[in-house]
């Protein structure tokens, strides 16, 4: 590596010949450096001197000037055409066609190119690894750029080839029945905000001038099912819940991460469609948060103004309402076309249209779409980066880190590779489609659990495989013959759960337990429980691997199946990751980003958006598995929690330090979690996550883990939505899970606590 500070220094103990060689090399390096500088100056001079037909084509001008010049040259009809997601080319000005709609929820999606597929978003949240999330965002943008560069070369500007990604989904997963909850980062506002900020930071890059790609925070706001009624639903929540639960992640992305875009939701809030909400779109987003990026509607959401919500009498009025509230792009091709007549009728001015156009073209200029390729480093990324080895390695890393070990009675796991016969069973044992989740890309290779096990074990081990059951079955199958086939196996591995073909966005699914993309029950389908009961009768060791995008209730299994693993929808490398955990090549370290409840009886009405008795922050019952929970093959111990101060005022921070020790026999990662609980305040959460760190320790190793607790982390949202520092006693809790009475039963009761006084 060249060290510029040493270029002018000859080593002290060189002979004369070596000194001469050094001086020659130094001179050569300086000449090359000067040549590069001169080339840069020359290129800049050429750009400055080049004659352009229009100012917007001149890269030496500011983006603001270029955008203003471009917009001023458009006719009203051309302006409106640029406010649909699929914008046509404007040949007379040399403006290419562009489609704003693209997806990269967990890798670049829906493209004809083969791309790297990471675990579904809920699985990535289970890693509690913000650094890995940032890297994943960076790799995803790299692949997206490569696809866009190749598409531009072939003059292909169709959908799913652009650089404006409508990701991440940062809605709070308030109810496990919501089918799209798999696309989120779970039920906690702090975890959601942290993982989303990391992703957007990686996706958008750090270049001071150009975006690597453009992220989009969706669905703004208060949107989490039910799917079948999302086009007509009017949400009313308290100001406390709005600011305590539903808005923090959006604020973190808009104000903190400077996300390029926001997508407004289908549903209404307080009587107004979200894309036309005075409070959400004008007061909060534009005025308070000073958001200058672009807003897109969810697809068809502006149609809903006049067709379903009935808040507007016709398309022209609906389009006017949306634009005046700052919705710049209609994902659709109907309602915004009426904007031409709306301007002609005086319902809004052409300047109102211009405001949206400037935000839209501002993003396109920041993506370098109107600059020479040689000026934009991202525009030179080749297609060879698609599915590159670092990307595939990272997909495996995140798949491993996402896996949550829920039960390991009598240390059944890890298994030995010397077993004589393994029975691999279940509808997800060899199911690549399930692993890829939804809003997914198509990688060249998807390793299923069956294949992962085959790759891991010795040639002398026999594998018996059967799909065994469907996901759901309305009849009672006869398992007798199948059970006879596995009685001589040393271990039975059942890979069940559910599927993204059953839960997801507004789906035509009516199987028992599922409706319209949502779930009507959180219970594991009966046919799977019955099959596991039949397996139990064999007396053989059983490992239950569940794939799911949400919390599932399986109280019988939690008491009777010795080993249970949650593998989510783990992406292209899920099978390898599961096998690594099964056979001890990786110590499981994933943590639950959602509460696993015991039954439907624990849940309020799905339509009720109040947070009362929802999620670990407000749920007063006993969970099957609490938020933040996850077992390991080793044993971690927390001790000596120390606060730098025992009393602070509202302007002070305090450092919390705890000692973490690996008392077991395996090297592993522990997710150290910091929770804060306020005593005696009615509207305060029972406890709430305010920090987490992944720590790797070898057996016998200890490490001090520190958290800085700022005044902002200690504030509470009151019943009017205001964030306040309230004097009183605060409990600081650091451990491997959220505080829960169940932890003692589950083997993760080890935490350290301290009391902090706020003055």
Classify residue 556 by burial, with Cβ atoms within 10 Å: 0-12, 13-18, 19+. Answer: middle
Residue 78 is a catalytic residue? no
Q: What is the 3-state secondary structure (H, E, C) of 705-726?
A: EEEEECHHHHCEECCCCCEECC
Determine the structural domain holding residue 674 and report its residue range.
Answer: 636-758
Q: Please check whether residue 617 lies inside any domain of the structure.
A: no
Q: Please check whether residue 618 lies inside any domain of the structure.
A: no
Output the six-digit token pair for 115.
Answer: 């791309």
The DSSP bridge pattern shows strands 688-697 and 723-724 to be unpaired
The CATH number of the domain holding residue 684 is 2.60.40.10
Q: Residue 37's pLDDT is what?
A: 41
Q: How far apart are CA 17 and CA 23, in angstroms?
A: 10
424 and 318 inside one domain: no
Q: Please check whether residue 578 lies inside any domain of the structure.
A: yes
660 and 690 inside one domain: yes
Sign of CA dihedral 453, 454, 459, 464: positive
Looking at 457-497, list the stretches that DSSP marks H as alpha helix, in order from N- to C-terminal side.
480-486
Output the six-digit token pair for 656.
Answer: 């919390």
33 and 182 inside one domain: no
Looking at 380-495, list the stretches that DSSP marks H as alpha helix, in order from N- to C-terminal side.
389-402, 432-435, 449-456, 480-486
Q: How far apart are CA 357 and CA 73, in angstroms?
A: 12
Cis amide bond preceding 750, omega within 30 = no
Q: How far apart are CA 183 and CA 106, in angstroms?
A: 9
Active-site residue (options: 241, 298, 321, 557): 298
Sign of CA dihedral 184, 185, 186, 188: negative
Cis amide bond preceding 219, omega within 30 = yes
Average pLDDT over residues 429-434: 98
**Total residue length of the chain:** 759
Q: How far apart are CA 82 and CA 753, in angstroms?
A: 56
Output the six-digit token pair for 23.
Answer: 């001086």
501 and 410 inside one domain: yes
The CATH number of the domain holding residue 342 is 3.20.20.300
Residue 64 is a catalytic residue? no
291 and 426 inside one domain: no
Closest CA to 675 of 625, 627, 728: 627
Active-site residue (options: 316, 503, 669, 670): 503
Is-contact 194 170, C-beta < 8 A? no
Q: How far apart are CA 425 and CA 429, in angstroms?
A: 6
How many structural domains are present in the chain?
A: 4
Strand order in the sheet with 272-273: 234-235, 268-269, 272-273
Is-contact 235 606, C-beta < 8 A? no
- ∠744-525-551 over CA atoms, to 5°? 45
Q: How far apart are CA 133 and CA 199, in angstroms?
A: 5
Output the six-digit token pair for 442.
Answer: 């198509």
The owner of tokens 């720590």 is 695
Closest CA to 747 of 558, 552, 475: 558
Q: How far apart are CA 293 and CA 217, in angstroms?
A: 11
Largest separation between any pair of C-alpha atoms in the chain: 91
Q: How far apart are CA 57 and CA 48, in angstroms?
A: 11
Sign of CA dihedral 235, 239, 241, 247: positive
Q: Please check whether residue 621 lies inside any domain of the structure.
A: no
Q: Please check whether residue 467 lies inside any domain of the structure.
A: yes
Q: How far apart are CA 249 and CA 171, in angstroms?
A: 8
372 and 428 inside one domain: no
The owner of tokens 């060879």 is 384
Task: Give per-residue pLDDT as tens, 25-66.
Answer: 445 544 544 444 444 444 454 555 578 999 999 999 999 999
E strand or H helix that includes residue 71: helix 63-72
- For the ranges 67-71, 587-591, 693-697, 748-752, the lowest mean pLDDT is seen at 748-752
Q: Please check whether residue 604 lies inside any domain of the structure.
A: no
Domain edge (last residue) among 327, 355, 385:
385
120 and 147 inside one domain: yes
Domain edge (last residue) among 365, 385, 405:
385
- ∠463-464-466 over CA atoms, to 5°? 140
Q: Residue 136's pLDDT is what?
A: 98
The DSSP bridge pattern shows strands 654-662 and 723-724 to be unpaired
Q: Residue 747's pLDDT is what?
A: 75
Q: Residue 28's pLDDT is what?
A: 53
Q: Residue 474's pLDDT is what?
A: 83
* DSSP state string for 28-69: HHHHHHHHHHHHHHHHHHHHHHS--SSGGG-TTS-HHHHHHH
The CATH number of the domain holding residue 432 is 3.40.50.1700
Q: How far apart are CA 703 and CA 696, in angstroms?
A: 9
pTM exceeds cut of 0.85: yes
Domain edge (last residue) among 543, 564, 594:
594
Sign of CA dihedral 737, 434, 203, 225: negative
424 and 508 inside one domain: yes
Q: How confident is the model at residue 406 (pLDDT cuts 50, 70, 90)?
A: very high
Q: Around Cβ 572, how many Cβ atoms within 10 Å?
A: 28
Output DSSP code: residue 346: T
Task: Give per-residue pLDDT as tens, 88-133.
Answer: 999 999 999 999 999 999 999 999 999 999 999 999 999 999 999 9
Does the pLDDT value for residue 561 go beyond 50?
A: yes
- For the ranges 19-33, 126-140, 404-418, the lowest mean pLDDT is seen at 19-33
E strand or H helix that includes residue 218: strand 216-220
Share of the chain above pLDDT 70, in %: 93
Does the pLDDT value for residue 135 go beyond 90?
A: yes
Does the pLDDT value for residue 502 go beyond 70?
A: yes
Q: Please check whether residue 622 lies inside any domain of the structure.
A: no
Q: How far apart are CA 326 and CA 324, in angstroms?
A: 5
The owner of tokens 């920041």 is 366
Q: Please check whether residue 724 lies inside any domain of the structure.
A: yes
Output DSSP code: residue 282: I
378 and 407 inside one domain: no
Task: Give per-residue pLDDT as tens, 263-307.
Answer: 999 999 999 999 999 999 999 999 999 999 999 999 999 999 999
Q: How far apart are CA 240 and CA 683, in angstroms?
A: 8
Q: Around Cβ 134, how many Cβ atoms within 10 Å?
A: 18
163 and 238 inside one domain: yes
Is-contact 293 363, C-beta < 8 A? yes
The owner of tokens 């997206």 is 144
* DSSP state string for 454-497: HHHS-TT-EEEEE--S-S--SS----HHHHHHHTT-SEEEEEEE
Q: Which residues pair with 98 in a beta bridge?
A: 87
Q: How confident is the model at residue 749 (pLDDT cuts 50, 70, 90)?
A: low
SS3 643: strand
120 and 192 inside one domain: yes
581 and 686 inside one domain: no
Q: Residue 1's pLDDT is what?
A: 38
Average pLDDT over residues 500-517: 96
């Amino acid at each position: 590596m060249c060290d510029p500070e040493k270029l002018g220094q000859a080593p002290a103990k060189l002979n004369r010949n070596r000194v001469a060689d050094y001086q020659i090399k130094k001179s050569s390096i300086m000449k090359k450096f000067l040549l590069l500088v001169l080339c840069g100056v020359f290129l800049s001079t050429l750009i400055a001197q080049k004659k352009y037909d229009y100012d917007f084509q001149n890269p030496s001008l500011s983006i603001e000037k270029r955008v203003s010049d471009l917009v001023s040259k458009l006719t009203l009809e051309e302006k409106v055409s640029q406010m649909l997601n699929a914008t046509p080319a404007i040949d007379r000005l040399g403006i290419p066609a562009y489609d704003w709609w693209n997806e990269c929820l967990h890798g670049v999606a829906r493209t004809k190119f083969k791309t790297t597929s990471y675990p579904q978003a809920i699985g990535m949240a289970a890693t509690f690894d913000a650094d890995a999330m940032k890297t994943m965002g960076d790799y995803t943008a790299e692949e997206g750029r490569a696809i866009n560069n190749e598409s531009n070369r072939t003059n292909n500007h169709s959908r799913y080839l652009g650089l404006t990604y409508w990701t991440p989904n940062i809605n709070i997963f308030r109810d496990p029945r919501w089918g799209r909850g798999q696309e989120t980062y779970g039920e906690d506002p702090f975890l959601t905000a942290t993982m989303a900020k990391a992703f957007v930071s990686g996706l958008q890059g750090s270049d001071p001038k150009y975006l690597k790609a453009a992220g989009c925070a969706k669905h703004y706001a208060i949107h989490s099912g039910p799917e079948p009624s999302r086009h007509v639903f009017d949400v009313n929540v308290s100001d406390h819940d709005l600011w305590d639960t539903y808005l923090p992640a959006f604020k973190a992305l808009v104000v903190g991460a400077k996300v390029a875009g926001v997508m407004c939701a289908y549903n209404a809030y307080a009587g107004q469609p979200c894309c036309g909400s005075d409070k959400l779109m004008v007061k909060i987003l534009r005025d308070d948060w000073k958001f200058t990026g672009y807003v897109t509607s969810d697809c068809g959401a502006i149609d809903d103004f006049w067709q379903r919500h009935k808040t507007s009498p016709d398309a022209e009025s609906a389009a006017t309402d949306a634009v005046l509230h700052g919705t710049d792009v209609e994902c659709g091709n109907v309602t915004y076309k009426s904007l031409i007549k709306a301007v002609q009728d005086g319902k809004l001015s052409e300047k109102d249209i211009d405001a949206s156009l400037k935000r839209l073209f501002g993003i396109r200029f920041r993506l370098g779409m109107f600059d020479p390729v040689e000026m934009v480093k991202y525009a030179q990324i080749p297609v060879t980066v698609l599915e590159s080895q670092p990307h595939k390695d990272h997909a495996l890393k995140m798949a491993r880190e996402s896996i949550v070990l829920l039960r390991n009675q009598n240390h059944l796991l890890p298994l030995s590779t010397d077993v004589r016969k393994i029975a691999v069973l279940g509808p997800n044992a060899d199911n690549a489609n399930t692993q890829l989740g939804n809003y997914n890309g198509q990688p060249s290779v998807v390793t299923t659990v069956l294949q992962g096990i085959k790759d891991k074990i010795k040639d002398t081990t026999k594998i018996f495989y059967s799909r065994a059951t469907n996901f759901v079955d309305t009849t009672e199958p006869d398992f007798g013959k199948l059970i006879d086939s596995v009685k001589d196996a040393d271990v039975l591995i059942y890979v069940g759960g559910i599927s993204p073909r059953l839960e997801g966005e507004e789906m035509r699914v009516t199987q028992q337990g599922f409706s319209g993309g949502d779930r009507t029950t959180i219970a594991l389908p009966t046919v799977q429980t019955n099959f596991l009961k039949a397996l139990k009768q064999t007396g053989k060791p059983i490992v239950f691997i569940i794939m799911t995008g949400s919390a599932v209730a399986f109280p019988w299994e939690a008491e009777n199946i010795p080993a249970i693993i949650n593998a989510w929808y783990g992406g292209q490398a899920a099978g390898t990751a599961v096998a690594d955990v099964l056979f001890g090549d990786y110590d499981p370290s994933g943590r639950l980003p959602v509460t696993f409840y015991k039954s439907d009886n624990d849940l309020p009405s799905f339509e009720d958006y109040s947070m009362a008795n929802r999620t670990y922050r407000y749920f007063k019952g006993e969970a099957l598995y609490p938020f933040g929970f996850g077992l390991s093959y080793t044993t971690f111990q927390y001790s000596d929690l120390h606060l730098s101060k025992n009393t602070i005022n509202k302007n002070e921070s305090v450092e919390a330090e705890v000692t973490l020790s690996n008392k077991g026999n395996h090297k592993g990662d522990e997710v150290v979690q910091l929770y804060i609980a306020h005593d005696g305040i009615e509207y305060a959460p029972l406890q709430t996550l305010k920090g987490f760190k992944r720590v790797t320790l070898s057996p016998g190793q200890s490490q001090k883990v520190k958290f800085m607790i700022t005044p902002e982390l200690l504030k509470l949202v009151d019943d009017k939505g205001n964030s306040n520092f309230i004097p009183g006693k605060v409990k600081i809790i650091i451990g491997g899970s959220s505080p829960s009475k169940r932890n003692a039963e589950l083997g993760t009761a080890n935490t350290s606590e301290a009391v902090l006084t706020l003055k």
